[in-house]
């Protein structure tokens, strides 16, 4: 009887201590991974709730830019990635909407990256393609426009549908949402859920 009482008391004490908070995970705010010195390890995946691989592209100057470059900046909290083509009318319409989101939320930690995979003739994009995309007649786009001539982003969605928009939590590099349209209310809600107030 004493042993049973002893185990009950020990179990009650341990239970009262509560769960251990290891500082990983969470849904924005002040939680999440604090050490951004090393990109999260795999396994990597292409679906929601999986860690996205450290993809690498070229920027408008031809310099390499990777997801780790965005991850390692602790001011960045959430990343909106879009796959686009120069011939895609919905992608063209989305350009300035993404700029407006970037301008509204960048100060709170939003980064935007658009990967251009084809030019107007459905050929692989070039540096000239992404430079022309960034230098939009309505104003130079303030976010990252990158060359995805190998169509790496095509692994993340049904490529018959355009454009693709993907939200990534930069605390753990997990894919939060993948959509094949620009549903602005949904994108706003998801982004705001991962930004500090």
pLDDT score recorded for residue 1:
46
Is the domain defined by 21-193 classed in CATH 3.40.30.10? Answer: yes
Residues 68 and 54: beta-carbon distance below 8 Å: yes
Decide the pairing of beta strands 78-85 and 110-118.
Answer: parallel
φ, ψ of residue 37 in degrees (nearest 5): -80, -20
Q: What pLDDT is stored for residue 5 in this prediction? A: 40
SS3 category, 174: strand
- Which stretch of DSSP H or E encloses residue 3? helix 2-17
Identify the CA nearest to 117 among candidates 164, 158, 150, 95. 150
Q: Token pair for residue 140?
A: 């130079």
pLDDT at 31: 45
Residue tagged 């894919």 (tokens): 175
What would the two tokens of residue 61 be? 């100057």
Q: What is the pLDDT of residue 34?
A: 57
> What pLDDT, on a 0 to 100 scale, did the predictor assign at position 3?
45
pLDDT of residue 11: 38
Quick one: tokens of 66?
């990777």
What was the pLDDT predicted at 24? Answer: 31
150-182 residue pLDDT tens: 999 999 998 888 789 999 999 999 999 999 988
Q: Break the chain down into helix, strand, coil percent, rounded to 5.
A: 30, 25, 45
Low-confidence ranges of the chain (pLDDT < 50): 1-33
C-alpha 157: how far from its chain's center?
14
CA distances from 107 to 77, 102, 157 (A): 10, 9, 29
d(CA 118, CA 39): 29
């Amino acid at each position: 009887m004493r042993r049973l009482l002893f185990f009950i008391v020990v179990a009650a004490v341990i239970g009262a201590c509560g769960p251990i908070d290891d500082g990983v995970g969470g849904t924005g705010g002040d939680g999440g991974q604090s050490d951004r010195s090393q990109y999260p390890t795999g396994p990597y995946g292409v679906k929601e709730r999986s860690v996205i691989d450290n993809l690498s592209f070229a920027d408008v100057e031809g310099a390499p830019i990777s997801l780790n470059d965005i991850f390692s900046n602790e001011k960045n909290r959430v990343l909106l990635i879009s796959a686009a083509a120069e011939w895609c009318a919905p992608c063209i319409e989305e350009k300035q909407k993404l700029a407006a989101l970037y301008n509204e939320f960048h100060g709170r930690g939003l980064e935007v990256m658009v990967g251009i995979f084809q030019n107007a003739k459905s050929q692989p994009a070039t540096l000239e393609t992404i430079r022309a995309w960034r230098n939009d007649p309505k104003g130079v786009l303030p976010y990252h426009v990158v060359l995805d001539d190998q169509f790496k982003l095509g692994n993340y969605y049904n490529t018959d549908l355009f454009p693709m928009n993907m939200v990534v939590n930069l605390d753990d590099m997990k894919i939060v949402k993948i959509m094949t349209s620009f549903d602005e209310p949904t994108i706003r809600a998801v982004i705001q859920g991962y930004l500090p107030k």
